[in-house]
Structure 1
Amino acid sequence: MQMGNPLLNMAIFGIFVLFTLFIVIRVATRGSKSASDFYAGGRSFDGRQNGIAIAGDYLSAASFLGIAGAVAVYGYDGLLYSIGFLVAWLVALLLVAEPLRNTGKYTMADVLSFRMQQRPVRTAAATSTLAVSFFYLLAQMAGAGGLVALLLGITDKTQQGLVIALVGVLMITYVLVGGMKGTTWVQIIKAVLLILGAGFITVMVMWNFGFNLSNLLGAASQASPDGVKVLEPMLQYGKDPLSFVSLSIALIFGAAGLPHVLMRFYTVPTAKEARRSVSWAIGLIGAFYLFTLILGYGAAVFVGKDAILGAPGGVNSAAPALAYHLGGEILLGVIAGVAFATILAVVAGLTITAAASFAHDIYNSVLKNGEATPEKEVQVARTTAIVIGVISIIGGIAANGQNVAFLVSLAFAVAASANLPSILYSLYWKRFNTRGSVWSIYGGLISAVGLIAFSPVVSGLKTSMFPAVNFAWFPLTNPALISVPLGFFLGWLGTVTSKEFDAAKQAEMEVRSMTGAGAEKAVTH
């Protein structure tokens, strides 16, 4: 199944890439070369701009391709991704955004190590950041492979791998040339295009049903081979309710621990703007996730479950297939171009986050004891971005064909297990100390990644990454049910078994996180 004209699709892809590259280069030539500029865009974005950029960072290929496909195939159970992703923002807004911006400088590790021993905590936080970024990059790369396979009719896995490699090269270019400022503008443009594109298709679908949601849902149940079950819970998870509970935990608690989202709070000049940016992000993200309900059920009606599953890219092909049915080659090309820009923007944001974490937290703070020059630190970050790009290309080729929304849920599980317990404890528990932070991060990280490795996601099933082998002994498809409580428990256990406590430093962090006093200097000790 190939949709549209491959030459037209490639031309629209090319226009999007050239336009965004022009923006990145223009921004780069006007900006400074300081560490603040490369990592935080010179803190030059207001709350509205940053909120749109956060939406651009958050509304990834998983949101557009994966969720629409999950709703089209599994109905109500697919919508749970949208609900989980959206509710997760309340945790980020109410508990994390403002105090994180007040306390930190460039990375999550700045906050976690503020009142603790620098080396062990920064090393642990950077390790976790790299792991979460890698899992998230897998999802975006898989989305790129599936999308281009559909639009160009490429079914050969080797050729799809070349496409994934091309995405990786473009991603590295964005980061090396534009830094955080260029990446942010790409995300702003992409978020506007994505929301407008999804909104336009949503209006077209609803127009076919007299703008009556009940008519759409009724038609979806008639078109689905599962009948009315497509409107009811547990079509996908009925035989495995614990996996559903585990997925819900990962989605709801994962966003507040995602390093590439947390890093966005540092691109605004004040804590007030950080809070405002999350409010903007919630509005835009909420509207988009309402669109995914219509897009998914619309694809179920106009494209059909069997056609979606049989297309190159599988479940991820639902939204492009719907666009092709409703608007022909032109609309398909535009929507596919937007989706491609979505992937490029998100992977660029992930890459700069991982590169900043390694250069700022490991190279400068741990290896050089904070004495490296900003220029040298940025140089190391650029080199790291290239290495991360190569690794993500290799991983993306291995993950090609998986549902991208599902792959992102694994990244959320790792973030919720390794990062969130330590972040919340650091901000709100006076007694929390170095041992608690290190145990929490490594314990949550190792348990989450270990359980994923020995789950049906990796081996044992036809849909696994490695279907030819079977070493799966963990029955759940998401580890959060075990690894998130374990991360919190180990944070508590490590803290109460250590006598370390710096009252003066804790008091300074509490005042800064709650009031913003001293945040503009953002000096880490």
Structure 2
Amino acid sequence: MLGVPLLLAQKIRNSGRHTLGDLVSLRASGSGPRIAATAVTLAITIPLLIIQLRVAGSSTALLIGTSAEGAQVVCTILMGCLVACSAAVTGLRGNSFMHVAKVAIIFFALAVITLLALRKSDWDPGSLLSTAVGKSLAPDDYLRPGFWPYTATLGALNTFGNHIVFILGTAVMPHQLLRIGASRTGRTARRSVSIATGLVGAFVLLLITTGFAAAAVVGATGIGAVDPTGQSSLIQLASGVLRDGSTGRVALITVVACVAFLTVLTTVSSVTFAAVSFAHDVFARGRRRRTETGEVRALRVAAVIVCAVGLSLAAAIHRYPTDFLVAFSISVAASCIFPALIYSFFWHRFNRGGLLWSVYGGLLLCIILTAFSPIVSGTAFALWPEANFNWYPFQTPGLVSVPVAFVLGWLGSISSPAGSELEFRDMQYRILTGRTAGPQAADLQR
């Protein structure tokens, strides 16, 4: 997944652009590309806000000892208001510091919980795994591939499409691009992505271990009784590895609660910053010059509005499954942003027409194919399981939308007037060196 940012991070930072609207305007001037970037940014970030706020509400309700639907809605609203205030007051730098603190606390918490779970199994990983298998709902199939219900009935091609969408989409999310653009230099951005690659690998290993530990200590029945999605399993595991009433148990649950809170706060804040970047793009293409104070004020107001919209939608659809929102959000990023960035950085013929064709075509395909996919109707995990209009056979539209977006970008570019070759070379010089091409560099390029 992080191989894509390793390829693009230094180029994104050296371009001197921060928001998605700024990046697409590298090769396409005017308001049209910025409007397209705004539409894509909101299509990605609003679903992510809904999901994160819903998780925040469910986790908070569990921590106060209730799983009632009304309590979860109230907790979602309260957490959403807190996060909206945080996003409006803090900046990207403050959010970055919280990310650093979150990573340290998460690794500490997962490591401690893993060791305590192993202690309950007499420090025998094999015994822990055997207990997890025995307490599962299907012991004979627990460790077999294809047991995950979302993909088991849709075939290997569906799994391949999901991997394409996940690898490309999560790498070019608007909030990821915003954070890469905020790095001090291009080398710093690339080094940060390299460090993140190692941290993600270690985190995944710890997460897999705690997943097996939760199945062994709590059991599938206990996890499903509280939350069928399993999102509360870490809190249940933290409360199960130590005896009731002990000080260590209270402390461990408190640390896990801090992890959940910091995760939601930093993620929602990052997504909110990306969502309100359209306000910057509006200022960037406006004729009248705005002061920095005025733009910051407008960004804060936009942050509150975006959080309010996400919070209202999260509360309204709280009883419905939201898996389709994840698939749609990541698919839009993979189908609209990834082709646009690849063409912008590497193809000299790419222009405004190719950008608009690729972005709007990919967005339209994601909307249509997601609406008629098994994740919306006709399956047990769908939004409307009793309905059946899923004529598109795969869970995510990536198998179709990503290659079609590349084709549309090519067709739109060759059918539109070509841009200046010198401008493309100047852009290449800037993204490779981090400096603007001067007269001597321009002569060398010629």
Structure-1-length-normalised TM-score:
0.76
Tell me the distance in 2 between the aligned counterparts of 1:483 and 1:312: 33
**Residue in 1 aligned with 2:251?**
330
**Residue in 1 aligned with 2:196?**
281
Of residues 327-336 and 138-147 in structure 1, the stretch that sits farther from structure 2 once superposed is: 327-336
Of residues 319-328 and 368-377 in structure 1, the stretch that sits farther from structure 2 once superposed is: 368-377
* Cα pair distance change 1:146/1:243, threshold 3 Å: farther
**Residue in 1 aligned with 2:207?**
292
Of residues 293-302 and 483-492 in structure 1, the stretch that sits farther from structure 2 once superposed is: 483-492
1:477 aligns with 2:395: yes
Of residues 197-206 and 369-378 in structure 1, the stretch that sits farther from structure 2 once superposed is: 369-378
**Are the equivalent residues in 2 in contact too, given 1:315–1:403 (CA < 8 A)?**
no
User: Could you tell me which of 231, 239, 261 is aligned with 2:143?
Assistant: 231
Tell me the distance in 1 between the aligned counterparts of 2:162 and 2:34: 28
Tell me the distance in 2 between the aligned counterparts of 1:280 and 1:338: 21
User: Could you tell me which of 92, 103, 109 is aligned with 2:5?
Assistant: 92
Aligned length: 428
**Residue in 2 aligned with 1:507?**
425
Residues 347-396 of structure 1: per-residue CA shift (max 9 Å, x gap): 011101111x21111x2133x14733322222221111111101111222
Tell me the distance in 2 between the aligned counterparts of 1:206 and 1:91: 36
Tell me the distance in 2 between the aligned counterparts of 1:447 and 1:216: 45
Tell me the distance in 2 between the aligned counterparts of 1:126 and 1:201: 42
1:429 aligns with 2:353: no
Of residues 330-339 and 295-304 in structure 1, the stretch that sits farther from structure 2 once superposed is: 330-339
**Residue in 2 aligned with 1:358?**
278
Shift of 1:421: 0.7
Shift of 1:211: 5.0
Of residues 122-131 and 328-337 in structure 1, the stretch that sits farther from structure 2 once superposed is: 328-337
**Residue in 2 aligned with 1:39?**
none
Of structures 1 and 2, the larger Rg is shown by 2
**Residue in 2 aligned with 1:346?**
267
Shift of 1:487: 1.8
Shift of 1:343: 0.5
* Cα pair distance change 1:477/1:394, threshold 3 Å: farther
SS, match of residue 314 in structure 1: coil
Specify which structure has the higher proportion of helix: 1
What is the aligned-residue identity percentage?
A: 34
**Residue in 2 aligned with 1:396?**
314
Read off the aligned partner of 2:57 and give its amino acid letter.
G
Tell me the distance in 2 between the aligned counterparts of 1:399 and 1:479: 23
* Cα pair distance change 1:485/1:263, threshold 3 Å: same
- Unmatched 5+ stretches in structure 2: 243-248, 438-446
Of residues 464-473 and 344-353 in structure 1, the stretch that sits farther from structure 2 once superposed is: 464-473
Read off the aligned partner of 1:490 and give its amino acid letter.
L
1:400-411 correspondence runs (5 A):
400=318, 407-411=325-329
Shift of 1:467: 5.3
1:220 aligns with 2:132: yes
**Residue in 1 aligned with 2:246?**
none
**Residue in 2 aligned with 1:261?**
176
Tell me the distance in 2 between the aligned counterparts of 1:148 and 1:468: 31
Of residues 504-513 and 170-179 in structure 1, the stretch that sits farther from structure 2 once superposed is: 170-179
User: Could you tell me which of 15, 19, 23 is aligned with 1:111?
Assistant: 23
Tell me the distance in 2 between the aligned counterparts of 1:419 and 1:210: 49
Shift of 1:266: 2.3
User: Could you tell me which of 116, 135, 139 is aligned with 2:51?
Assistant: 139
**Are the equivalent residues in 2 in contact too, given 1:142–1:401 (CA < 8 A)?**
no
Tell me the distance in 2 between the aligned counterparts of 1:283 and 1:406: 30
1:176 aligns with 2:95: no
* Cα pair distance change 1:276/1:210, threshold 3 Å: farther
Tell me the distance in 2 between the aligned counterparts of 1:171 and 1:165: 10
Read off the aligned partner of 2:21 and give its amino acid letter.
A
Tell me the distance in 2 between the aligned counterparts of 1:99 and 1:198: 35
SS, match of residue 231 in structure 1: coil
Shift of 1:471: 5.0
User: Could you tell me which of 308, 317, 329 is aligned with 2:232?
Assistant: 317
CA root-mean-square deviation: 2.4
Residues 447-467 of structure 1: per-residue CA shift (max 9 Å, x gap): 213322333433445543455
Tell me the distance in 1 between the aligned counterparts of 2:140 and 2:386: 35
* Cα pair distance change 1:370/1:283, threshold 3 Å: farther
Tell me the distance in 2 between the aligned counterparts of 1:403 and 1:223: 26
1:150 aligns with 2:62: yes
